[in-house]
């Protein structure tokens, strides 16, 4: 069948965009070693859309990326809005469903604490192979509400329209989807905006295909990559990348590695490029804006903005503007603009510390901590200001072979004494969520228990 072509002849308020692009017989997913075509996938989407409850909102808790993709797309086809909690923790799910009362939840596995109004769809094997019409989504439809991770406070809701997703995905495709289109393996969950953009929307709106798993351990990542043909694109995080390099599994040839969710050290990027003989692309974005810039971190410190994106520095952050944004979007990030659509990221407004009249950034403190030999993972974070107005920083560190005094001694060589983290506690693991982020409340709780 020939490729389906979209049309913009309708007025902006009536304009539609197709659910998926490309040939109906193209591979959209690799699921349990099987090639799933766009036609088979769309048949499952349409079948599930007919089953969904009448509620307006769908909380998509599916862990398998294939089942997530089907449920996410079916909700859109049925005119519903996907709710994407920052985590699958029962408390986060309950809070979202409390705020959005006209909602139901979908899950593909047993949950320890099932939420109310849990809908169990009747799952077909891989859809009816009979002819299916390409679903069309109203461009202005709010298809998802993503929630920030809570790493700087309480999660915030960010509604997303289908036209906005289509526009931002086209920019990601221009960066990552050269011919032949890549087969993607992602270690990040589809509920997180970075995971949604590169492992859900990119396969839907480009010629790329996605592996349905969510490998976590290095051996599992290597196996998932071997299960898809070249060219291969690994979508991951600095945490997973450090684990890969530490355990050093053999990987099949990679067209590129894409990294996000936390700052990536340039030396780590150089080591990864040399070890795997590929390019490492770091992308910059947020739940509020989606991806807006990229860089080859091993070779450049400056970020290159996507076409059509502009930044306006503000005293307390940055305004991001784009044609597909409903309005300029504020971020807490402090930037320095450079020529040729480039910028330097100076840190987040909330990351700038002033203690005893001296200034530093949490980003720099974390870079120094992670550079210590023997530190496998770690984080420096600000505690609430003391009663006298003097702020303090604390640290949690994964370093099985080091004592806390050894780590502090190394930090003392690099930092002003006022920025030494006190307390500094060794822990078996950091309380990272599925996206590799560290919610502030989880850090404080881990510090209390350490």
* Element holding 144 (H helix, E strand): strand 142-147
Q: What is the pLDDT of residue 338?
A: 97
Which tens digits make up the pLDDT trace of 21-48?
Answer: 788 899 999 998 899 999 999 999 999 9
3-state SS, residue 183: strand
Q: What is the pLDDT of residue 151?
A: 53
Which tens digits make up the pLDDT trace of 410-450?
Answer: 999 888 888 899 899 999 999 988 777 888 888 999 999 98
170: pLDDT confidence band, cut at 50, 70 and 90? very high
Last residue of a domain, one of 261, 282, 300: 300
Q: What is the pLDDT of residue 12?
A: 40
Q: Report whether pLDDT(148) > 90.
A: no
83: pLDDT confidence band, cut at 50, 70 and 90? very high
Distance CA 149, CA 85 (A): 9
Positive/negative CA dihedral, 156, 162, 163, 166: positive
322: pLDDT confidence band, cut at 50, 70 and 90? very high
Is 385 within 8 Å of 393 (Cβ atoms)? no
Per-residue pLDDT, averaged over 324-341, amounts to 93
387: pLDDT confidence band, cut at 50, 70 and 90? very low
Is 122 within 8 Å of 67 (Cβ atoms)? no
Residue 106 sits in the same domain as residue 250:
yes
Token representation of residue 286: 């947020």
- Count of H-run helices and E-run strands, the chain: 12, 27
Q: Give me the CATH number covering residue 103.
A: 3.40.50.12780
Q: What is the pLDDT of residue 348?
A: 78
Last residue of a domain, one of 300, 317, 344: 300
Residue 267 sits in the same domain as residue 376:
no
3-state SS, residue 238: helix
Could you tell me if residue 2 is inside a domain? no
88 phi and psi angles, rounded to 5 deg: -95, 15
Residue 235 sits in the same domain as residue 360:
no
**Between 350 and 398, whose confidence is greater?**
398
Could you tell me if residue 315 is inside a domain? no
Q: What is the pLDDT of residue 156?
A: 84
Residue 51 sits in the same domain as residue 168:
yes
Q: Report whether pLDDT(251) > 60.
A: yes
Residue 404 sits in the same domain as residue 295:
no
Residue 391 sits in the same domain as residue 251:
no
Could you tell me if residue 325 is inside a domain? no
Could you tell me if residue 306 is inside a domain? no
Residue 375 sits in the same domain as residue 273:
no
Q: What is the pLDDT of residue 418?
A: 86
Could you tell me if residue 322 is inside a domain? no
Size of the chain in residues = 450
Residue 20 sits in the same domain as residue 89:
yes
Which tens digits make up the pLDDT trace of 101-147?
Answer: 999 999 887 777 888 889 887 665 555 555 678 888 999 999 999 98
**Between 396 and 435, whose confidence is greater?**
396
Token representation of residue 131: 């002819």
Enclosing domain of residue 372: 356-449
Residue with tokens 């993709």, as numbered in its chain: 69
Q: What is the pLDDT of residue 7?
A: 41
Distances (CA, A) of 333 to 156, 291, 298, 366: 17, 14, 22, 17
Q: Report whether pLDDT(237) > 90.
A: yes
Q: Omega of the bond prior to 402 within 30 degrees of 0, cis? A: no
What DSSP assignment string belongs to 80-111? -EEEE-S---HHHHHHHHHHS-SEEEE-SS--
Q: What is the pLDDT of residue 3?
A: 36
Q: What is the pLDDT of residue 1?
A: 32
Distance CA 206, CA 20 (A): 8
**Between 444 and 355, whose confidence is greater?**
444
Could you tell me if residue 345 is inside a domain? no
Residue 289 sits in the same domain as residue 380:
no
Q: Give me the CATH number covering residue 415.
A: 3.30.300.30
**Identity of the highest mean pLDDT range in 215-219, 236-240, 289-293:** 289-293
Residue 387 sits in the same domain as residue 268:
no
Distance CA 142, CA 131 (A): 28
Residue 284 sits in the same domain as residue 159:
yes
Last residue of a domain, one of 265, 300, 335: 300
Distance CA 215, CA 250 (A): 15
Q: What is the pLDDT of residue 91?
A: 82
Which tens digits make up the pLDDT trace of 261-294?
Answer: 888 989 999 999 999 999 999 999 999 999 999 9
User: Domain total for the chain?
Assistant: 2
371: pLDDT confidence band, cut at 50, 70 and 90? confident
Q: Report whether pLDDT(59) > 80.
A: yes
DSSP at 48: H
Q: What is the mean pLDDT of the chain?
A: 88
Could you tell me if residue 323 is inside a domain? no
Could you tell me if residue 311 is inside a domain? no
Distance CA 267, CA 258 (A): 16
Percent of the chain having pLDDT more than 90? 64
Residue 278 sits in the same domain as residue 392:
no
3-state SS, residue 70: helix
Residue 329: how many CB atoms within 10 A of its CB? Answer: 17
């Amino acid at each position: 069948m020939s490729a389906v072509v979209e049309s913009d002849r309708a007025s902006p308020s009536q304009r539609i965009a197709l659910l998926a692009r490309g040939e109906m017989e193209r591979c959209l997913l690799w699921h349990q070693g099987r090639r799933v075509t766009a036609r088979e996938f769309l048949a499952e989407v349409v079948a599930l859309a007919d089953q969904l409850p009448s509620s307006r909102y769908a909380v998509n808790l599916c862990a398998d990326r294939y089942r997530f993709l089907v449920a996410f797309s079916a909700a859109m086809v049925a005119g519903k809005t996907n709710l994407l909690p920052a985590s699958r923790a029962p408390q986060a799910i309950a809070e979202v469903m409390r705020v959005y009362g006209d909602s139901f939840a979908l899950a593909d596995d047993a949950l320890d604490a099932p939420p109310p109004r849990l809908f169990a769809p009747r799952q077909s094997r891989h859809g009816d192979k009979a002819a299916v019409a390409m679903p069309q989504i109203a461009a202005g439809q709010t298809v998802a509400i993503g929630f920030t991770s809570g790493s700087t406070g309480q999660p915030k809701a960010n509604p997303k329209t289908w036209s906005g997703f289509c526009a931002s995905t086209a920019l990601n495709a221009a960066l990552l989807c050269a011919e032949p289109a890549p087969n993607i393996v992602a270690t990040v969950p589809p509920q997180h905006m970075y995971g949604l953009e590169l492992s859900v929307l990119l396969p839907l709106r480009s010629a790329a295909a996605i592996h349905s798993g969510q490998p976590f351990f290095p051996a599992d990542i290597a196996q998932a990559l071997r299960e898809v043909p070249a060219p291969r694109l690994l979508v991951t995080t600095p945490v997973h990348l450090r684990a890969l390099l530490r355990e050093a599994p053999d990987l099949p040839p990679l067209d590129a590695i894409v990294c996000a969710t936390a700052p990536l050290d340039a030396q780590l990027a150089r080591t990864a490029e040399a070890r795997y003989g590929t390019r490492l692309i770091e992308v910059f974005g947020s739940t509020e804006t989606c991806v807006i810039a990229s860089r080859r971190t091993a070779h450049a410190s400056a970020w290159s903005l996507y076409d059509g994106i502009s930044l306006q520095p503000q005293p307390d952050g940055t305004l991001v503007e784009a044609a597909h944004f409903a309005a300029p979007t504020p971020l807490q990030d402090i930037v320095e603009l450079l020529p040729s659509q480039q910028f330097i990221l100076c840190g987040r407004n909330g990351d700038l510390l002033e203690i005893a009249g001296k200034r530093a950034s949490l980003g720099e403190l974390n870079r120094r901590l992670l550079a210590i030999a023997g530190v496998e993972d770690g984080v420096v974070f600000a505690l609430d200001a003391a009663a006298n107005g003097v702020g303090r920083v604390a640290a949690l560190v994964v370093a099985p072979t080091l004592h806390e005094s050894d780590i502090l001694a190394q930090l003392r060589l690099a930092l002003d004494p006022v920025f030494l983290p006190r307390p500094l506690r060794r822990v078996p693991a950091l309380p990272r969520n599925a996206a590799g982020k560290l919610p502030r409340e989880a850090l404080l709780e881990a510090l209390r228990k350490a």
